[in-house]
Amino acid sequence: MNNDLMASRKAKPPQVTREGVVADLRRLADLAEASGNRVSAVRALKCAWRIEHVCPIRPVPPSIDRIIEVCETIGPLVHRFIPEDAARVSATVAGLRRCRMELIAAERENATVH
């Protein structure tokens, strides 16, 4: 029994793939329609269609510049609606800018080394 437990802990979880998510959504749509819940079935099919036709196949994470831009954009909203978190958002943006400057300096250093 202990060997099975150890083996299950070492086993990698199944990888989530685009095709697997679409198949799961279609299966959910079938189950929802079979139970008479057509609204949920349509929603699941819409999500599956959107993943197949609109979402990028290999999404790339946003750049640090884009993340800073988004944080600056939501900053005024946070100040207005969640004032207790405003200082934390400002500190996060400042930290991201500092990281960006360090990254630029490291890139320049690498460029001069090569």
Q: Is the pTM of this model over 0.75?
A: no
pLDDT at 16: 74
d(CA 4, CA 11): 10
Angle at 8 between CA 6 and CA 9, to 5 degrees: 65
Q: What is the pLDDT of residues 5-52, one digit of tens each?
A: 556 556 676 777 888 889 999 999 999 999 999 999 999 999 999 999
Q: What is the pLDDT of residues 64-105, one digit of tens each?
A: 888 899 888 888 888 888 889 888 989 999 999 999 999 999
